[in-house]
Each structure stands twice: as C-alpha cells, then as structure tokens.
Structure 1
Amino acid sequence: MTDFTPQPEDNVYDSNSSGNSEFKDLFNKNITRRDLISKSAGAAVALTLAATLTGCNDENNSSVNEGSPSVPAPEHSKAPSSLQFKTVDKNTLNAFTVPEGYQARVLYALGDPLTEGLAEWDDNNIPSGSSFALRSGDNHDGMSFFGMNKAKGNYDGSVSDEGLLVLNHEYINQAELHPSNNSIKAAIRAEDEVIREVNCHGVSILHVLKDPITQEVKINKSSLFNRRITAASKIEFSGPVKGHALLQTKLSPEGLFTLGTHNNCGNGYTPWGTYLTTEENFDGYLARNSNDDRDLQVEYALTRYKIKKGQSAQYKWNTPQASLLPQEMYQRWNSSITAATAAEDFRHSANSFGWIVEIDPFDNRQLPVKRTALGRFAHEDCRASRAMAGQALAFYMGDDSTGEYIYKYVSDAKWEVKDINGGYTAGDKYLNSGTLYVAKFDFDERSQQASGEWLELNIRDPRIAGYAAYQFADQADVLVHSRLAADALGATKMDRPEWCAVNPNNGEVYVTLTNNSNRGKAYPTDAANPRHYFDNDSGSTSLKGNINGHIIRLREQNEQTSATEFVWDIFLFGAEADALKNVNLSGLSDANDFSSPDGMWFDPRGVLWIQTDDGAYTDETNCMMLAALPGQTGDGQIAAAFSGSGTQTTPSGAILDDSKLRRFLTGPSGCEITGVTMTPDYKAIFVNVQHPGGIWPSNHPAALNSSKGIGTRPRSATVVITRINGKEIAAEALEQANSAKT
C-alpha cells in the first residue's frame, strides 16, 4: 500500500464513522459482447491470448504431489541466531543499496516484455496499450515464488532453480506511463491510453530460472507460463456470494463473474500451491453520477466504501468513446443506476471489487476466482496459518484504511496434505466454506493482561441482524459489506492494518499498522494503538498522531487456528532513533530505526522481513527493508507510550538490538519498498521497488540490469538480491559458527 505517492492514488481514506507482435491489429475485427466476454481469460484487450496459451502444460495440473511440501517446513539448522551482514546506512540516494558482499539485479521493470518478439520499453516510443497484456504492469507490489517440478510442470515447494514468480501491479503513475502528449487531464480520455492503464494493473506470472552456481536469475521469455491477469481479465465469483443479486451487472446478469482485478496490493499463497492477490482501494476507479439517487441505507453502505454520489473516477476509465472495444468496457467503471434493473447497468460494479482473488500460476486453462467467503473490504494482505494436518486453515487479512479492522477467515475443511497441487478444486474446498471473524483487542489495566476476541461476522448475531445503520438481507450481504458488519460488532479500529505474517516456528501472527495522523484526535488512543505524539525534531507540528506506525502480534489460544480468543503485544514501534523514549519504545538505533512499516513476510527459517512505505522520515532516509529475529508474544514488558498530554499503558515486545534487527537495504529516492519472497534454498530474495523517483532504474549498474528499457523515466521494478559468493541470504552467523567448529 502506498501512502505517499507521486499522485493521490492510494486514497487512504477514513470512512469509518463507526514472439508475438503488437496487438493493435486484433481490434480491426468486429467483436460482439459475447465474444469479448468468452475470450477474455487473459485480458480483454488481447482477445486471442487465451487460445495461444491453452495446452502449454501437457501434465495434469491438478494432480497431487504429496512428496513436496507446499511451503518448506522451518529449517531450524538454517535459522541464524543473529544477523551479521553489514548494516546498510540510511541514505537518500537515487540508488538501490544492499550490504557489502551482496548484489542487486533489476529483473523486471514497467513495460518490459514477457515474451520474445515484443519491442523493449522506450520513453520516446511508448508501446501500444494492447501490448501491455504481455508486458510488465506498473507499481509492482506483493509477490511470491513457486518452485516448479519441471517434469510435471506443477508446483514443488522444494525447487529453487526454476519456478514461477507471481507479482502484483497495484496502480499506475500516469505521467510516466504515456507519451508526453496525452489525455490525462482531458474530460474524455484517449482509448489507447485507458487500455494501457487497464493492462498495467493486475498480476504478472513469470517463468524464472536461477543459475545454481552464480545464483543469477533470468526470465525465460520463451515460456508459455508467462502471462498477465489485468483489470480486464475475466474472473469468476465463488463462494457464498456467487450469483447473489448484489453481483448482478450488465456483463453478468446472473452475478457469476466480473471483468478485472485491480489495486492489487499485498498477497499470499496457499498450502496447496496457488497465489492470493488482494484488491485494495478500488473505490477511486469508479464514478457515480450526481443524480444517482439511492435508498438511504444503500447510500450509507456505498459511502462506507467511499463510492460517493457525484464522484468522478480518478483515471476516468468510464469516459472513452469506444472504437477498439465495446462501449460496455468503459461504462462498467460508472457505478450508477442507468437502466430499469441491475442486470441492465453497472450499479453493482463496486461490489465486483474488494475481494481476495485466487490464481493458480500453473493452470492457464481455468479462470481466476474471487473467493467471496473471505469478505469484501480494502484487502491489503492475506496470509495463511501454518498448514497442520487435521487443523482448519486460517487466513489473516488487514483492511488498509484509517480506523479499519483486522480479519480472520477459518476454513470448515481440515488440512490434508493430499490437496497439494489441487489447484482451484482445493481452493473450492478450503476457501468457499468457512467463518469470517473480525478482531477486538482488550487490555486490562489492573491485571496488565492483553487479550483479544475474534467476533464472528454472521447475520445470526442480533447485533448484525438488528444493525440500525444498514439492514442486512442475508449472510451474503454481510460478506459484501463486511465493514458494516464489523462496525455492528464493535471491532477495534486500528491504525491502517496492512500486511500480515505468520511465524513458521510458533504460528504467531504479525500485522503492520502503518500510521494514523488522526490517532489521538478522531481516534482516541488505546492499548493496541497507543501513541499520539508530534515529530519533536521536525520543526513543525504538522506531523502528529501515530506518525511512524507499529507492528502488533498475537498468539491464538492453545495455538489453534480456529480459536476465538488470543493474547497479543506490540512487537515493534516505528520511530526515529533520536525520538523521545516514550515514543521510541523499542529502543531503535541508527542501525535499525524505521518509519511506517508496511510489507512484511517470514521466510521459512523464521527471519522476518519488514518493509517501509514512509513519508515522515524521508528527509533522512529512503524507504527500506529490515531483517528481524523475533521472540514471542509476551517476551517484553508493560510500557507507557506518549499519548498526547498523558501516557497510554501497552504491552511491548522485547527490545531487539542490531544483532536481532538491522537494515538490509534501502531503495532509490521517492520509492516504496514492497513485496518480498525468496527461493527455498535462501540464495535469492526478491523485492519490489514501487514508484521510484529520479531516473532509477536506468542509472542502476548496467551489468546488473536485466531490463533493457530505453530512456530515463523512473519505472517500478522487481529486484533480485544475491550474495556475491553465492551463499545463503543473511546466513553469515551460521557460516561463522560452522567455520569456528572446523
């Protein structure tokens, strides 16, 4: 999630009042609406793509591969006891900086082709909009690596040298994307530009190869596994809301599918080997007419998701005069009543977005699926619990807006290892039937105990059934309007819940709370969101509230994924090293201070990688990624946090010195560091650079730049980091220990 971007894309709002040629020739054909829908599995602007991909894998992708764990089990012998790589200093360079002994290669940047035969990106000759159905999208974000069984062409979680890298493209930087003479500010947008923008959203799937000696990673551009899923791709609904009246649109009068996924921010992966992409701030993409009158309760629900009457769409995708595609492809971005029934217009188009989308990277025959049982909100991330035989699976999710909530979905089905490589069939089993919960945090001042409760979002609860602000029709309505149901239950309003991470060693759940300038004002401080302070060395009082964010963690009762109670503490408080002690409660130093934690992921060894998306500390340092070796919930002490004119008591995690928490990299100026994944051998780690400033990556060392784009426009990109000696990432302490033994 981007907080401080070159343009107001993210819309971090507070609504909680409680060898292919260019594709232009494809459009010289007459295309019916039925043809458009039936052929748009890859992208609606690349209508023949699905046919070219069919049959790229002769093996049965749904076959079970019991010998390969979906996520490698924690390797305790490989877990470092301390961090010994040289800390990267804070800096504001327009460069990507890694520790001594490491190198960073730009792998995949905006506009790069996924296949042979497409021209490289060129600032002065921007490729056609349709060609971006097979090019990198913009603003790379969440990301996962899936090892590949080469013989079967399916998932193998133990393979490192060949696999599929799957990554999100959250949004666009319009000024960097189009020719200098463009229609960005025009009332009616140029169609080719809108097609380019639509295709620059969504997901990329890349077939990558890693040299087992040098660890260099390359994209196999001849592979038919390479593909894009965009804001125009056909995607099915599945689960309790499928076919509901609230999903009816002109494109799918039965409410069975939609076109597109966009604003894809955080991510996740399943134990059976599929990718989960999240749909975050979808509201800014939709327009509503000024005369779009609704029932008061419907209007309240739309406003709660910030689909306000009279608003214009940020990118104005609803405005082009169609010549390449049917007009409906643009009309669908206007969520207004324009016809007699919902089956004849797009009044419910907003309900098509805000879901978790499951993608099987190895299966291009079947459509991706929006899993409605997991609820609808501004999904930032979706992380699975440890897969333990006989236990239900839990998926943890944040709703990234000010004052929103933390959610958990628990499957009805118990985990069975035979479902590995079960694809969408396994997804149906675990993700279509289960229970959705929202978190409520509590702290008992007298006993000094921190506890929490998972509240079930179910219409059987009288607080939901009798909610005055909105009358829910049924359980499907509860899932479509999860935020309103959470309001009704009195869930704890958090400081922008973003990424989630699950510790593979003990199952504890970590959630980043990036910041909240209104904490202490519109939102009183509480133990789970305890700080209200000014940036005391900034010379200004404009930075206030919870400026630097924090990371909360919880442990389920009896370590059961289906538990409805938990204990918690605050693992880390973001702060500047020289901040007041009751602001810098985690005792951060110049080697590990940070602000606005956002992306976060545990590797299978138990190393926690923390990424930042900051605007409060960028006068001193660019955004960064740190490595941490956490303890466990309750390992610290009760602290008194700066809270306006007083203090707020809160449970704080153990202080980590720089052997347990240190800065691993900084990104180029202007960027957010986001998305992180690693090969199972721990020898290549991937991160994404979103919306860099300056001229990066064209100024990245040529020998380490696989993107052959021409020009100096800043472009978002995926970077792969390896050690020059080819050894494991962040394993220096283990190597020193082994060397001492010999």
Structure 2
Amino acid sequence: MTFETIYTDGDIDTNPTANPHLNDLIEVRYSRRQTLMGGMSATAAAVFGGMLLTGCDDDNDGGSDPVTVTATAGGSSTAGRVATLTGAAIGQVDSVSWTQTAGPTVTLAGATTTVATFVVPGATAGTVLSFLFTAVSASGSVTATTSVTVGAASLGFTAVAKSLADVVAVPSGYAVTVLYRLGDPIGSGVGAYVNDGTDATFSKRAGDHHDGMSYFGMSATGTPDANGNTRGLLVLNHENITQAYLHPNGPTNSGGVRPEAEALKEMECHGVSVIEINRAAAWSYTTASSFNRRITPLTPMSFSGPVRGADSLKTRYSPDATTGRGTINNCANGTMPWNTYLTNEENWVGYFRREVGDAARRAATGPAGVKANTSLTRYGKTESSSSTAGNYGWWSVTPADTTSTIYSRWNITAQAGAPADGTGDFRNEIFQYGWVVEIDPFDANSTPRKRTALGRMNHEGCQIGRTIAGVKPAFYMGDDAQNEYIYKFVSATPWSGSDATAANRLAIGDKYLDTGTLYVAKFAADGTGQWLPLTYNVGPLTSANAAYPFSSQVDVLINTRLAADALGATRMDRPEWTAVNPATGEMYCTLTNNASRTVATVDAPNPRAYVDAPSTSVGNRNGHIIRLRESGDTSEASTFAWDIYAFGAGSDLDPTNINLSGLDATNDFSSPDGLWFGLPSNASGTIAPVMWIETDDGAYTDVTNCMLLASVPGIVGDGGTRSVTSSAGGVSNTVTTRIGKAPGAALRRFLVGPKECEITGIHTTPDGRSLFVNIQHPGENGGPTNITSSWPANQTGTVTAPSRPRSSTIVITKNDGGVVGL
C-alpha cells in the first residue's frame, strides 16, 4: 500500500483566493507613493501604510500617515574631500530633499534622495555647514537637521613610490585618462594618426612636446564660464620635437640640405594647441570643434607695446616692424583673469643660423650694427661655420615655391648688398622672438599679440599675481638659462574687476600689458631684496653706459638681459616657472639647476655647489625653489623678503650641506621645473593652497623617472637661517642662507611618469576635480629602430610590439569625485 506524505513544510499552494501576494502589495505601493526608508522597515511600511508606527488608515492618498525623519552626516569633513548626508524617513512619503541652511554654499549631488554628497569647501577650520532634510507626505512635511564642521585642507593621498617603469603611476583612488596625444587630429578631413613617421598636416594635428597649459571653462553658447567644469577650452604649448620619431627613418639631411616636407612637419609640430574638451562619462576632445586651432611658427603675429615699429624688428617680411610670423619654443604659460592665454618664447636662439662674416657686415653699417653684435652675443647667437648650425636646419630648405621665405628667415646672416635697415633680408628676424605672446582662445580668427613691454629674454613663463581692485597687477617671469634673472612687470593700470568678463579680451590685454614698468630682482644676504626698474635714463641705463649704450626704452626692452646686467641683478640657478600663492600673494620660482654654479660663486639665494654621484661635476645639480613676499603684500612694492622653500636632493645626500630640506623617500626630488597653485575657486586654492611641483631631471634619473609632487607650503620666514658649506677640489666656501621649515609630510610625490619623460604643464577645472598634466617627450633618447618607451600606448596594458612614444595630455580624477590632491 502506498501512503501520501501530508507534511509539506508549506511548499504547496492551498489558498485558492485571488488576494494579492506580499510582493504584489510592495509593487503597487511603490508605484503609488514613494516610501523612503532602509531595510525591512521600508518593505513593511510600503505594504502596511505606516501601520507599524501608528496603526493603519484607509490607504488612500488623502491619508495622513505620521512620518518620522532623521539626518546624519558622514564621510570626511576635511576641505576638498567628499562628505555624505544620510536621511531616513519612516512612513508614507511622497518626496524628500536636502537644503543647505548655513555655511559656505556647496553643490549637493543627490539633493532629492536620502543620500546626498558634496565636496567640502575650502574654509577656515571649524566653519559649520548646516543642512535640512525634509520629507513630504500627504499630511505635510517633517524635517531633521545635521551639520558638518570643516577641517583644514591637507594632502589626502599616500605618496607614490619612485619608479623606472614605463607608465604613469598615481596614488590609489585615482584614475588616469589619456586625452590628447601627438598627432591627434583636430580638424575635419584629417585622418587618424598612424604613428609610423608618414603622417603630415600637423597644422591640424596635435603638436609635439606638450608643455605649459591652461583650462578655460566654457558655456553652452561658447563664451567663458568661470564655473565650466564639464566643457572648456584646453590651451597648451608644444615646446619642441623629438625629431627622430616624426619621420619614417629619422630626419633626412642630404649634403646639409633638409627636405621641405620634413622641415614643414617639424615647424608645424611646434607652437600652441587650442582644443575643445568635454566631460560626459570621461573626458574627451571634440575633433571638429570650431574653437580648435593650431598656432605654429608660421602663424601671423602682431606686435604690441613700446617695441612695435622699432627698427630692430624690421625684416623683409615686415618692413614696418609691426607684424611677424609665428612663435616657437613655447615653454611655460600664463592664465589671464580676462580669459586669455600667455605663451612664452624660451630657447628660440638656437633655431637660427648665423654664418661667419655676419658680425663684420653688421659692424660695417655703423653704431647700430655694432650694438646688434653685442646683443646677439649676450643672447648666445655667435657665428658658426658648421653646416648643421641652426636647430633642425630649416634654413637649408629650397622650397617648391621659390617666392616663399618661411625657411630662409631662419638664417639671420646679413646679406651682402641688402639695405642696412634689415628690410631686404632677415638679419633682424631673431629680434622678433623672445617675447610673451597673448592668445584669445575663444576667437579662432584672432591674431596673437607679442607683448613687448614685458621684455625680451628666454621667457619660461609669465604668471599674474593676485588681482585687487585699485591695485596695479604684477606679472612674474623667469629667464630660463644658467645665471639669468627673475623679473616682474607692474602694469601702469590698476585692476578693475569688470575687465574679467570683457568681450574684447585682447583689448584688455592692451590695457594691462602694453604699458607699465619692468623690474629685475636683486637679492640681499639678509633675506631682503629689491626690484630694480629697467627704465631708460634711470641709473646706468643711459647712452653713456660703456658696456652697452642704451638709446631708448625700446632698446632697454629688446636688450633686457644687458639692462639687467648693468643694474647688477642677482644671477640665479636657471629661473623657470613662477607661481603665486592665491591666499598669501607670495611668489615662488623654480631654480631648476645650474651646472656652472661653482664653489666660488655660491651666495645666499643660490647657496649650493656640490657633486652628486654618479656625476663628477660640480654645480647645483638638483635645484631649489625660492619664494618672496612683497613688502606690504602689494604687487606695486619695490622691495621684498625671501627664503628658499625647498632644496631638491636625494634623501641619501648630506643633510648638512645638500639635503637641507630633510627630504625622505616619499618626497625627495631633483630639478624642479613646472610650478602651479590650485585655483581659489575650490578648496585646493583657499586658506592653505596646494602647490604642484613638476620635475625635468637629469641628475636623479638613475633612481626614478620624472615626477609631480603636491605640497602645502608655509610662508616666507617660517624657517630660519642656515650655514651651508660647498666644497670641491680642496676649496670650500660657507654662506648663510634663508630656508623655510622642513616640508615633511606636507610635501609628497603624487605621480611618476614613464621613461625618459619630463612632467610639465598643469591646470584644473574650476572645481579642482579634474587635473590636467602634460607628459613631454617620453622615450626621447630613442628612435625608429630603438624605441625606448611605448607610452601612452601601454598606459592601459602591455603592447604586443614597441609603439613610438607620443607626448600627451592626461587627465587625473579622484574615484570618489573629490578635489584632486586633498
């Protein structure tokens, strides 16, 4: 006999009615009215209409279920990091929302949900931000409050280790996106980059050697937007080229003559890019944007300021000395508050050829020719009989268009029989370079202007100081060569805030950059300094000067170095980038290194000359960062105080005389170059701003690739004096210098780049949540048959075969959406 099992453990359906299931009730309930809670209580309330709290009602929308709410704050309260607001509502709720009731205004993400987040603003520690959580039901609204107390900004990442790997390394919690690479097309009809040396049309492609860079937020209508965090214009310099990778088998030089196609490609790879970029899920650039533009050594330029029309600028191309062609060797930059970009001509001298016999021809024309010879020598352009003199040999090209002078202009030799005023040849072409150039990125048809009032030198960069209504703004510059000087230009016009939004941006540049006073710095051993005016007929800058008789202010500006020599300015260890602390107004300048600094020539602002193995030469091998504070904290000051923020050094070097800043494995560096402060529009640029330091190193590359460091520096005078002894060859010299407090954990390594690169160019979106950085010349020591880096092709994985490296712009973001670095 067979028996049926009657114990079923409830797994058989015995209810024949059509009454709804629990899941059915939940689904209907959620479709009629949103109930916002957590866990099992939310399910119960959705089904039973708040009965668990108050008993049940008739479950229609006119009901009046009591609602209970709570609000709490979590996450980080440190400036620049992400804070979380969590609300809970028990009962029948139609909607919830978060509103801010006190403190600096923040942007709430998820303001209509139970969980909202925001980036903690830069504010004085202890500042309270208050928030109201509101739940709305049929019976009205119920609220709860919570608050976040702001903590001081501090670096919020673990230092990246030194590395020799062929990849960009960043801290845990950060992501890297490669945005804009050598050869990327920026115009319609230009094909994808093949990267085998056959590509052309670089007038519509990304150039090489990405360098100084600025981001400009842009509105939906294409106008500047100070809060544009997802759409903008990125403007960046292309300083130079890695010539070997640009051609199939490297450059061709047949009997000292370059092919026109190769020379044209190389010229077009120099200059500046303007590109439109956008952020959706990730950052990308818009290939065919009407704002995209390449500015190259071929682009028409105009001259502005005192030197416009000067005899020394007259050429066969520009007999009236008001126009020119192109900009070259553009290194650092400047971001103007009226939404223009300053690009700066650095090592321009080497591109020109000067044949033997030129000096005699110039001298034969009279005093002006003699002075030109003095000027050319001071700027490093001497005669040469070598057929390879003049970078890349562009002067040697015989163009298909025999009327073209785009190649012959690179030979500045005075031609026999040509007019002495330079209008028949290109003897004066070299004087058209060495300037600060202003570009309007929002007008692709505008002509860049060379701002001659700021002097002629190896302009590394030009950084504006703080702008204060009614005060004349200052612009700080370094002359990047060994033993050159630090400068500032003070505009003749006091700042007006309304100019920041002017539609005619280059006209505002005319207002502030064409008239003013140029100064050079003289440092004293006691920690003070002077700004010496480079003004004609003041001091030795007169026609009676024996070394160089100045004839006018135009002469002073064209020959800025000679004028600074005459004033006795302080010779520095390669002044490069300048940066201004937006909170204090203090100016920082990288002194990258100086191979010619000797034991005999050390002084208080340049106190080290030493050997750093494996090198056997003496000099300031690792560089340092000097800073100054204007007297009275005004840009118009003629005096300042100074000290040295940090000395580059390996952590294993002598702490008494070399590693003076006490650097360790988390923050040791060499050859500081790029320098930039966070923007005051976010927490990285307020109260205690973050300063970013980029390196261009040749002394420490046996240990690590070049790097980017973040710091929260103190203020001038926060350390003390220090005696430093330099010794070599049995000779020693001790000087007393001024050194800031040891950086310690307030300086740490944020990024290490790929092989043989330089880290340079840096800017962020206004909210500080996207950081743009340039990686320059990876694999620069290789060539087509010896590829020494495959970056950026290998950034996201191993490449199957070596790929020619490409200078590129990257974007770094924080995975939690916070301000980068904090």
Q: Under a length normalisation based on structure 1, what TM-score does the superposition of the two structures give? A: 0.84
Q: Residues of 1 paired with 2:500 and 2:669: CA distance?
A: 38
Q: 1:316 aligns with which of 382, 385, 393?
A: 393
Decide whether the 8 Å contact of 2:167 with 2:753 is kept in 1: yes
Aligned to 1:511: 589
Q: Residues of 2 paired with 1:729 and 1:561: CA distance?
A: 29
Q: Deviations over 1:520-553 (max 9, x none)?
A: 25x6010000011112xx25523x2111100000
Equivalences for 1:245-644 in 2 at 5 Å? 245-292=311-358, 293=360, 294-295=362-363, 296-310=370-384, 312-324=389-401, 326-338=403-415, 339-341=418-420, 342-422=422-502, 423-444=505-526, 450-465=527-542, 466-520=544-598, 524-535=601-612, 538-542=613-617, 544-581=618-655, 582-604=657-679, 605=685, 606-644=689-727
Of the two structures, which has the highest relative contact order with CA contacts closer than 8 Å and spacing of 6 or more? 1
Aligned to 2:18: none
Q: Deviations over 1:454-488 (max 9, x none)?
A: 00001112311132121222110110000000000
Aligned to 2:789: 695
Q: CA offset at residue 75 of structure 1?
A: 4.0
Q: Residues of 1 paired with 2:806 and 2:498: CA distance?
A: 42
Aligned partner of 2:775: which letter? Answer: V
Runs of 4+ in 1 over 6 A off after TM superposition: none
Q: Secondary structure at the match of 2:524?
A: strand
Q: Residues of 2 paired with 1:583 and 1:79: CA distance?
A: 35
Q: CA offset at residue 554 of structure 1?
A: 0.2
Q: 1:165 aligns with which of 231, 234, 257?
A: 234
Q: Secondary structure at the match of 1:108?
A: strand
Q: CA offset at residue 703 of structure 1?
A: 8.4
- In structure 2, relative to structure 1, the CA distance for the partners of 1:683 and 1:100 (3 Å cut) is same
Q: Secondary structure at the match of 2:202?
A: helix
Q: Residues of 1 paired with 2:151 and 2:546: CA distance?
A: 52
Q: Residues of 2 paired with 1:354 and 1:127: CA distance?
A: 30
Q: Secondary structure at the match of 1:236?
A: strand
Q: 1:685 aligns with which of 764, 771, 786?
A: 771
Q: Secondary structure at the match of 2:161?
A: coil
Q: Deviations over 1:249-269 (max 9, x none)?
A: 000100001101000001011
Q: CA offset at residue 595 of structure 1?
A: 0.3
- In structure 2, relative to structure 1, the CA distance for the partners of 1:539 and 1:475 (3 Å cut) is closer
Unaligned runs of 5+ in 2: 1-120, 125-149, 364-369, 680-684, 780-787
Q: Deviations over 1:34-86 (max 9, x none)?
A: xxxxxxxxxxxxxxxxxxxxxxxxxxxxxxxxxxxxxxxx9436995321212
Equivalences for 1:11-90 in 2 at 5 Å? 75-76=122-123, 81-90=153-162
Q: Residues of 2 paired with 1:626 and 1:541: CA distance?
A: 27
Q: Residues of 2 paired with 1:394 and 1:555: CA distance?
A: 13
| Alignment coverage as a number of residue pairs | 639
Q: CA offset at residue 109 of structure 1?
A: 1.1
Q: Deviations over 1:127-182 (max 9, x none)?
A: 12xx100101110100000001222x221222111100000000111101112164
Aligned to 1:718: 809
Percent identity over the alignment?
A: 48
Decide whether the 8 Å contact of 2:243 with 2:251 is kept in 1: no
Q: Deviations over 1:302-360 (max 9, x none)?
A: 01111112362121111111115743111111112111231111111110000000001
Aligned to 2:249: 180
Q: Residues of 1 paired with 2:625 and 2:212: CA distance?
A: 18
- In structure 2, relative to structure 1, the CA distance for the partners of 1:238 and 1:588 (3 Å cut) is same
Unaligned runs of 5+ in 1: 1-73, 445-449, 732-742
- In structure 2, relative to structure 1, the CA distance for the partners of 1:388 and 1:79 (3 Å cut) is farther
Aligned to 1:142: 212
Q: Residues of 2 paired with 1:176 and 1:494: CA distance?
A: 35
Asked whether 1:656 is paired with 2:743, we answer: yes
Asked whether 1:94 is paired with 2:176, we answer: no
Decide whether the 8 Å contact of 1:291 with 1:310 is kept in 2: no
Decide whether the 8 Å contact of 2:196 with 2:804 is kept in 1: no
Report the more deviating stretch, 158-167 or 687-696.
Answer: 687-696
Q: Deviations over 1:433-465 (max 9, x none)?
A: 000000000013xxxxx1000000011123111
Decide whether the 8 Å contact of 1:104 with 1:704 is kept in 2: no
Decide whether the 8 Å contact of 1:167 with 1:205 is kept in 2: yes
Q: CA offset at residue 125 of structure 1?
A: 5.6
Decide whether the 8 Å contact of 2:167 with 2:792 is kept in 1: no
- In structure 2, relative to structure 1, the CA distance for the partners of 1:182 and 1:591 (3 Å cut) is closer
Report the more deviating stretch, 373-382 or 453-462.
Answer: 453-462
Q: Residues of 2 paired with 1:79 and 1:238: CA distance?
A: 48
What is the root-mean-square deviation of aligned Cα atoms in Å? 1.9
Q: Residues of 2 paired with 1:276 and 1:386: CA distance?
A: 16
Q: Under a length normalisation based on structure 2, what TM-score does the superposition of the two structures give? A: 0.76
- In structure 2, relative to structure 1, the CA distance for the partners of 1:498 and 1:704 (3 Å cut) is farther
Q: Deviations over 1:252-311 (max 9, x none)?
A: 100001101000001011111100000001011001121212334321210111111236
Q: CA offset at residue 633 of structure 1?
A: 0.3
Q: CA offset at residue 647 of structure 1?
A: 2.4
